[in-house]
Chains A and B, each alone.
Chain A
């Protein structure tokens, strides 16, 4: 049973508009959440994270929102740029700062249309 779910395999957004990627989780022990971005033939690269003590974290064009009661997080990218086209993975950890493996979702392929 998947503990981290990304229900949209792909998302198409026009350049300059907002991209919203969603992620749901089931394990209430998760206390740290991360978003990774992956281009073909490369490993995932860390994008942004959020601790369960916060509900929002912002870094430039990227903002992550966490709704603990709904066990839901989302990544907002605004404005979307062509270079944002990639697969985005949501990941979660149950031991923030510990050597804990991450639990990943299947990913959402974001396509930015010119």
Chain B
């Protein structure tokens, strides 16, 4: 596997279900991100993990719960979602300035999980 992978690619769930989205990066990066893309809206940042520590929670409802067990894996746990949470959920990773000489903030994205909440 190369780059950033996400599973599942598609997910349909009811409002009472509990599910998890998984992201794995094979780039040796030390920062990971969750974004949400709703129809006709720009990508919206949800969470940032830097060296496995959550450094940003962009006012996301508590029904979304992130987990970053190590620098290569990122999860988004979902419970009691609403139909308006239906969207494309994208994971990204980047190398933070200073840890390996990189001085850029390019984020590399996975293919996304298309979530539908019924």
Contact = CB atoms under 8 A, between A and B. Distances in A.
Interface of A: 2, 4, 32, 34, 36, 41-46, 49, 89, 91, 93, 95-107
A103 B41 CA distance: 12
Interface residues on B, range: 35 or more
Given A43-B109, A45-B109, A91-B43, 10 more contacts: A34-B105, A34-B106, A43-B92, A95-B105, A96-B97, A97-B96, A98-B105, A101-B33, A101-B35, A107-B42
Interface in B63-90: 90
A6 B26 CA distance: 32
Contacts, number: 76
Interface of B: 4, 6, 30-31, 33, 35, 40-45, 48-50, 55-56, 58, 90, 92, 94, 96-98, 102-112
Contacts of B102: 97
Nearest to B40: A106
Contacts of A42: 111-112
Contacts of B42: 2, 4, 89, 103-107
A45 B50 CA distance: 21
